[in-house]
Amino acid sequence: MTMFAVQTHDGRECFTLNGLLLVHENREELEFLIPGHRVVDVTGTTLPTMRWADHPDIRGPVKFPLSRNDFR
């Protein structure tokens, strides 16, 4: 499965939580949720990962797959 991560503004690393690389399987959803940041393919990474959908600050208010109507 293809996995994507979001780079920080400086582009040197990707967002993590407690040492886990935050990943998602849908590039377009990440680009919509976190505009202004570069989304990169991290398929095959050997780093420990956490799905963005499981992030404690996102898990409640955001439902996947995204419906853009939920953000109006």
- Strand order, beta sheet including 16-17: 16-17, 20-23, 49-51
Residues 6 or more apart whose CB falls under 8 angstroms from that of 44 comprise none
Residues 6 or more apart whose CB falls under 8 angstroms from that of 47 comprise 20, 21
Q: pLDDT tens-digit profile of 24-55?
A: 999 999 999 999 999 999 999 999 999 999 99
pTM of the model: 0.89
Helix (H, G, I), strand (E, B) or coil at 14: strand
Domain ranges of the chain: 4-71
Residue 25 token pair: 């399987």
Q: Is residue 6 a contact partner of residue 14, using CB atoms and an 8 Å limit? A: yes
% the chain with pLDDT above 70: 100
